[in-house]
Amino acid sequence: MKIDVKAFAKLNISLDVVSRMADGYHEMLMVMQSVDLCDDVSVTVEAGDGIAVSTSLRYLPADMRNIAAKAAGAFLARAGIRGRHVSIAIKKRIPVCAGLGGGSADGAAVLRALNALLDTRLTVRELEEIGAEVGSDVPFCVRCGTALATGRGNVLEDLPPLPDCAFVIVKPQFAVSTPELFSRLDCAKIRNRPDTAGLVDALRAGNLAGIAHRMYNVFEDALPRGREEIDAIRGELLDNHALGAIMTGTGSAVFGLFDSYESAHGAWKTLSGRRECFAARAVGKYEV
């Protein structure tokens, strides 16, 4: 039995780090959006044992360190399933170490795929709970759509979809280590924070300009290097009619918000000659 599913990237429309918790993780406050930039994930289940994973990028782990394999293991354990061999093949399109949740998206796609293949009929909420065991962003990548994320990033509240808009996502040359960036952040010293309440109000009002105006990511101010490139990309996106542009997650990818796909595509055409970039649309909430 085999199924093909899409693993959608996520963007942080805003990202705030509220505090460092006793377990070393950080309490987050983020507005998240899934987009149609995606990896293709094929999952096959046969009689047998074990979990195998392969990806189109040779340098990614092809063993239980891969979040997709971890998700499969957590799913089988939770559903109490034995005597099944799971093989996962991932065609990567989402840039890695970019703050786009690529690994989390692959894990979430595996959870959805196994739920369908094995006819286990777990709810989206149950899949999110399993996802939280393997990574903080996995629950959002299961749910998709537009959401306010708190806790480690795993506590989700649906928000209304963004008004009509599109994105251009640009991947700088340098990559960022998520744990390193978290460790550099001193929550008490964060000077500028996003107006998350104002952003949520703008979303509820369907006010795209108001949303763009409030996009902000506190990690931009904590980058150990590469800030100039982030600012240069932001400038290029704004020069090409983005309403706002920020880094997503712990970076290094930067995205611009546009008022139409045509406008985003125009910017993509201009930038794509010299930068790795993608035009993308918003993806709505996942329903089983």
Binding residues vs ligand C5P (CB under 6 A): 25-26, 28, 135-137, 152-153, 178-179, 182
* DSSP conformational letter for 92: -
Classify strands 216-217 and 2-20 as parallel, antiparallel or unpaired: parallel
Question: How many Cα atoms sit within 13 Å of 128 on the Cβ side?
Answer: 20
Which CB atom, from 78 or from 152, has the smaller least distance to ligand C5P? 152
Residue in 106, 137, 171, 269 annotated catalytic:
137
Report in angstroms how near the CB of residue 248 gets to ligand C5P at its nearest: 14
- Do the beta carbons of residue 283 and residue 145 sit within 8 Å? yes
- Do the beta carbons of residue 13 and residue 211 sit within 8 Å? yes
Q: How far apart are alpha carbons 241 and 97 in whole angstroms?
A: 27
Residue in 6, 10, 39, 186 annotated catalytic:
10
137 catalytic residue (yes or no): yes
Q: What is the CA radius of gyration of the chain?
A: 18
Report in angstroms how near the CB of residue 135 gets to ligand C5P at its nearest: 4
Contacts of 236 (CB under 8 A, 6+ apart): 170, 270, 271, 275
The dihedrals phi and psi of 140, each to the nearest 5 degrees, come to -65, -40
- Distances from the Cα of 269 to the Cα of 39, 58, 100, 168, 279, angstroms: 22, 29, 21, 10, 9
Which CB atom, from 152 or from 227, has the smaller least distance to ligand C5P? 152
Report in angstroms how near the CB of residue 67 gets to ligand C5P at its nearest: 8
Which CB atom, from 16 or from 236, has the smaller least distance to ligand C5P? 16
Which CB atom, from 56 or from 183, has the smaller least distance to ligand C5P? 183
Residue among 138, 44, 51, 57 at smallest CA distance from 91 = 57
Give one DSSP letter per residue of 99-116, joined into a string.
SS-HHHHHHHHHHHHHHH
Which CB atom, from 179 or from 273, has the smaller least distance to ligand C5P? 179
Report in angstroms how near the CB of residue 128 gets to ligand C5P at its nearest: 14
Report in angstroms how near the CB of residue 166 gets to ligand C5P at its nearest: 27
The residues assigned a catalytic role are: 10, 137
